[in-house]
Structure 1
Amino acid sequence: MELRKKRLMSTSSLVKAALLAAISIVLTRVFSIMVPLGGLPALRVGFGNIPIILSGMLFGPLAGGITGLISDLLGYIMSPQGAYFPGFTLSSTLLGIIPGVLYKTLKIQKQRFNYNYVNAMMVLSLAVGIIWVLFRSEVVGVNNGHLILNDTASIYLFAGISGVALLFGIMPFWISKHMKGAIPKIGLDKLTFTVTLTYVLVSLLMNTYWLSIMFGKGFMIFLPGRVVAAIPTIPIYTFILYTLSRFVDFRE
Structure 2
Amino acid sequence: MKNLINSIKSSAKELSSTVTLTVTAMLTALNVILHSVTTIVINNFLQIRFSYLAVASIGFLYGPVVGGLAGALGDIIKYVVRPTGAFFPGFTLNEFIAGFLFGAILYKKPITIKRAFFAKFSVMVIVNLILTPLWLSMMYGKAFMVIMAGRIIKELIMLPIETALLYLCIKAVTKAKPVRVS
Q: Indicate the TM-score class for this superposition, using the shorter chain for normalisation.
A: 0.7 to 0.9
1:30 pairs with one of 29, 37, 50: 37
Counterpart Cα distance in 2 of 1:245 and 1:208: 28
Q: TM-score, normalised by structure 2?
A: 0.82
Q: How many percent identity over aligned positions?
A: 33
Cα distance in 1 between the residues matched to 2:40 and 2:170: 27
d(CA) in 2 for partners of 1:96 and 1:47? 14
The structure with the largest helix share of the pair is: 2
Q: Which runs of 5+ in 2 are unaligned?
A: 1-11, 176-182
1:21 match: 28
Stretches of structure 1 lacking an aligned partner (at least 5 in a row): 1-5, 110-184
TM-fit CA distance, 1:29? 2.2
Paired residues for 1:1-252 under 5 Å:
7-9=13-15, 10-36=17-43, 41-104=44-107, 109=109, 186-249=111-174
- Contact 1:52–1:96 (Cα < 8 Å) also in 2: yes
Displacement of 1:102: 2.1
Aligned length: 163
Whole-Å separation in 2 of the counterparts to 1:46 and 1:199: 12
Q: Check whether the contact 1:21–1:52 (CA below 8 A) recurs between aligned residues.
A: yes
Task: Indicate the SS of the match to 1:247.
Answer: helix
CA offset at residue 30 of structure 1?
2.7
User: Over alpha carbons, which structure has the higher Rg?
Assistant: 1
Which runs of at least 4 in structure 1 moved beyond 4 Å after TM superposition? none
| Partners of 2:57 and 2:170 within 8 A in 1 | no
Q: TM-score, normalised on structure 1?
A: 0.61
Deviations along 1:52-88, one digit per CA (max 9) or x if unpaired, are 1221122101111122112110110111001111100
Distance 2:126 2:88 in 1: 18
* Aligned 8 A contact 1:55 1:64 in 2: yes
